Structure 1
Amino acid sequence: MEFGDHKTIFLQIRDWLVDQILTGKLVPGDRIPSVRELAADIEVNRNTVMRSYSLMEQEGIIDNRRGIGFFVSEQARQRLATDEKAQFIEEELPKIIHQAKVLRLTLADFQPLIQQLHENENQQ
């Protein structure tokens, strides 16, 4: 995992785990790495990872089973899909639409690109 300057590290860790869940690499019931394991793997302070996990637990994305570890919650994928779509529509899409207008791109310009993305995704 490489960190950027655009967000705090604990939010970038959360985003990475969210992506793992939305792409199906982690499914409900899967154990996620312990705080200590993940902190060592990505070379950050354990408190940073714990902050990410605490946020995700508050959001209902993961469950803490005392003495066992953290697990992807049963409702994680549905909750995330709804929340992430809403966030994309509210925050990212307006930027994309603005940039498309500036560049005078049309829907016809986007259709083959979207088609290609879907084809590439289905091949993986």
Structure 2
Amino acid sequence: MDFNNNKAIYLQIAEHVCEHILLGSWKPDEKIPSVRDLAVSVEVNPNTVARTYELLQQKGIINNKRGVGFFLDTDAVRQVLAYRKTIFVEEELPQVFKNIYLLDIGINEIVDRYQTFIERNFKKD
């Protein structure tokens, strides 16, 4: 996994886990990789993954079944959407708005480009 220097590694791993959940490769109520296994796969110290899993537990995305391992919560997808939306709205969107303002991009152009993006990347024929 390639890490960005602008954000804590444990938060980047949390985003990685959330992407697996949103893409459906990790399903609710299923066991997820152990701290050690995920640490090996993303090439970090297990303590970093432990911190990630602690955060995800606090957010209600995963839970620990003592002696068995970590599992996605039944409501993991909804929890991930809420978590990721909060991060986007509070941290990323203000920078996007700043750039839109500075570059004098109109709302109609934004809407047109967004619709084109959706059509090209997510509409199935």
Name the TM tier (shorter chain).
0.7 to 0.9
Q: Map Cα deviations across residues 61-95 of structure 1 (whole Å, 9 max, x no partner).
A: 10111222111101222122223223322322222
The answer to whether the 8 Å contact 2:59/2:83 transfers is: no
Residue 108 of structure 2 corresponds to residue 108 of structure 1: yes
CA distance change for structure 1 residues 90 and 46 in 2, over 3 Å: closer, same or farther? closer
Greater shift in the superposed pair: 60-69 or 76-85 = 76-85
Q: Map Cα deviations across residues 6-57 of structure 1 (whole Å, 9 max, x no partner).
A: 1111111111112222333322112211111111111111111111111211
Normalised to the residue count of structure 2, the TM-score between the two structures is 0.86
In angstroms, what is the RMSD of aligned CA positions? 1.8
> 2:50 matched to which residue of 1?
50
The answer to whether the 8 Å contact 2:34/2:69 transfers is: yes
Q: Structure 1: which 4+ aligned runs deviate by more than 4 Å?
A: none
Separation of aligned partners in 2, 1:47 and 1:90: 27
State how many pairs are aligned: 124
Query: % of aligned pairs identical?
Result: 40
CA distance change for structure 1 residues 83 and 36 in 2, over 3 Å: closer, same or farther? closer
The answer to whether the 8 Å contact 2:28/2:75 transfers is: yes
Gaps of 5+ in 1: none
Separation of aligned partners in 1, 2:90 and 2:5: 22
The answer to whether the 8 Å contact 2:35/2:46 transfers is: yes
Gaps of 5+ in 2: none
Separation of aligned partners in 1, 2:114 and 2:25: 23
> 1:122 matched to which residue of 2?
123
